[in-house]
């Protein structure tokens, strides 16, 4: 919805997690960076592979979801003991490993809290089968997994019916996204569509009011005559809503902010728009 500037690290800046020895030559630093970059690439999840989850809230929510088919569970001794103490069903005994055995399966700086899980992806309902009720969030090519994960977390807090994303130009529901969602992937259905404009048309055919969110919107979201079922559409940071997406929406709204900065991080914008819409609908 909003369009804050996107900062990019200089190409010469070491990757996060890269540690160069004091006095290292430029060639040694560059060689180390290439090594870390190759390691990161090798650890990226395979699109056709299992869903990777790590972290306490993410893994325990998956373990407690009967629809989630678990394939592998690794735990440190402390994490396994905590699973038992809190009566969280593990379905089968976890493989007890050292923390480093989990860390080497993940990207640098991933906080796993002693738990690692591999599972099948959850089934994605067809957009035509979504119940015509409540609020649906639609993400227009938001690619940052941390932002999408945070949006899932807010969606679960506001009892969102589903989140709709495109099959391309969207992050997989695994790894960093699952960690940022903090268990919300088990609570909010994910609908994957090939063409977003057609997906929005299907929602409108089902009776949804479709409202795009953008800092240049025609009216304040709180001033629009909202009704359920409602679909709120958020665009990527920097680019915002694509033109065809804007044209397909019934309205394009903004959130009026009192401060000098008029844009928000897209995950914050999602949470605020859900709050505004929920209050408006409740009134």
Own/partner long-range contacts of 45-50 (Cβ < 8 Å, ≥24 apart):
45/172, 45/174, 45/175, 47/172, 50/118, 50/119, 50/120
What pLDDT, on the 0 to 100 scale, is given for residue 175? 96
Measured CA to CA, the distance from residue 96 to residue 225 in angstroms comes to 55
pLDDT(161) > 70:
yes
174, 198 Cβ separation under 8 angstroms: no
The CATH number, out of the four listed (3.40.1280.10, 1.10.1060.10, 3.20.10.10, 3.40.920.10), of the domain defined by the range 127-282: 3.40.1280.10
What pLDDT, on the 0 to 100 scale, is given for residue 18? 44
Greatest Cα pair distance, the chain, in angstroms, is 65
On average, the pLDDT of the chain sits at: 88
Return the minimum-mean-pLDDT range out of 28-37, 111-120, 196-205.
Answer: 28-37
pLDDT(183) > 70:
yes
What's the alpha-carbon Rg for the chain, to the nearest Å? 21
pTM over 0.85: no
pLDDT digits (tens, 9 = 90+) for 124-158: 999 999 999 999 999 999 999 999 999 999 999 99
Tokens for 209, please give them: 């009011």
Domain residue spans of the chain: 51-119, 127-282
């Amino acid at each position: 919805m909003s369009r804050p500037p996107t900062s990019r690290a200089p190409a010469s800046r070491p990757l996060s997690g890269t540690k160069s020895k004091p006095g290292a030559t430029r060639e040694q630093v560059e060689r180390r960076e290439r090594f870390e970059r190759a390691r990161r690439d090798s650890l990226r999840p395979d699109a056709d592979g299992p869903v990777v989850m790590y972290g306490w809230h993410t893994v325990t929510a998956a373990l407690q979801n009967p629809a989630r088919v678990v394939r592998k569970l690794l735990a440190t001794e402390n994490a396994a003991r905590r699973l038992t103490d809190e009566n969280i069903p593990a379905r089968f005994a976890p493989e007890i490993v050292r923390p480093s055995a989990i860390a080497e399966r993940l990207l640098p700086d991933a906080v796993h809290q002693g738990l690692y899980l591999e599972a099948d992806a959850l089934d994605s309902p067809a957009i035509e089968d979504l119940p015509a009720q409540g609020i649906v969030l639609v993400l227009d090519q938001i690619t940052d997994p941390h932002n999408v994960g945070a949006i899932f977390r807010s969606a679960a807090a506001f009892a969102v019916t589903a989140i709709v994303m495109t099959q391309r130009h969207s992050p997989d529901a695994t790894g960093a996204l699952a960690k940022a969602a903090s268990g919300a992937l088990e609570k909010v259905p994910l609908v994957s569509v090939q063409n977003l404009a057609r997906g929005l048309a299907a929602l409108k055919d089902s009776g949804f009011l479709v409202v795009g969110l953008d800092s240049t919107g025609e009216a304040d979201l709180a001033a629009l005559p909202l009704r359920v079922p409602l679909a709120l559409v958020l665009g990527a940071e920097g680019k915002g809503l694509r033109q065809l997406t804007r044209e397909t929406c019934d309205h394009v709204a903004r959130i009026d902010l009192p401060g000098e900065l008029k844009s928000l991080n897209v995950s914050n914008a999602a949470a605020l728009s859900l709050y505004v819409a929920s209050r408006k609908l409740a009134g």
